[in-house]
Amino acid sequence: MKIYTKTGDKGQTSLYDGTRVDKDSLRVESYGTVDELNSYIGFASKFINDQKIKENLKKIQMRLFFVAGELATVEAGKYKYTVKEEDIAALEKIIDDYLPKIRGFDAFIVPGSSEASAALHVARTICRRAERRILSLKRNEEVSEILLKFVNRLSDVLYTYARYLESDLTIMDFEKAYNEKL
């Protein structure tokens, strides 16, 4: 099997269901950003020592393949591996379990006091971008409410894990930062 097919040389690609679309379409942009997020979560996990978090991130990565697959399919219901309400409940449980362990949760922080938290904060921002791309797609085409909810909740999980793994919390003092010279 060759990795190159030459079918995309003129700027189009095939979706999961065989539909041909431009490579810069909102649909491709949406699942491409989810792919980027999945890759970055894998990268971030290499800095994390907590085995439970690593296991949860691996499970989340598997679910992101379902999200991307659903986004790569025009006809609703044609892709059978979709995220479910129970996946959202699992994300909410993670948040509920870790929030009480985070100090200074209600303050703005300067992200990145450890490699693990810095990488997860980047993953969180990619997740938010994916959500924006999916919302843009939803304005023009059918997108599952559950899928959108999952991506939204996932950014909260990534934020929660990043905050939990902060090693040296720097709480943002806006007045001090405003008055300091660069």
pLDDT score, position 14: 76
Residue 87 covered by a domain: yes
Can you give the CATH number for the domain in which 105 is found? 1.20.1200.10
Residue 4 covered by a domain: no
pLDDT score, position 180: 75
Parent domain of 125 = 12-179
Note the pLDDT tens digit of each residue in 83-122.
999 999 999 999 999 999 887 666 666 677 889 999 999 9
Q: How many C-alpha atoms does 24 have within 13 Å on its Cβ side?
A: 2
How many independent structural domains does the chain possess?
Answer: 1
Length of the chain, in residues: 182
Note the pLDDT tens digit of each residue in 59-90.
999 999 999 999 999 877 788 899 999 999 99
In this prediction the pTM is 0.89
Q: How many C-alpha atoms does 54 have within 13 Å on its Cβ side?
A: 9
Task: Report how far residue 119's alpha carbon sits from residue 104's, in angstroms, rounded to the nearest whole number.
Answer: 20
Tokens representing residue 116 in the block: 């693990």
pLDDT score, position 109: 66
Residue 141 covered by a domain: yes
- The percent of residues in the chain predicted with pLDDT above 70, rounded, is 86
Residue 6 covered by a domain: no
Residue 7 covered by a domain: no
Residue 1 covered by a domain: no
How is residue 99 annotated by DSSP?
G
The conformational region for residue 11 under phi > 0 = left, psi -120 to 50 = alpha, else beta, is left
What is the band of 145 on the pLDDT scale with cuts at 50, 70, 90? very high
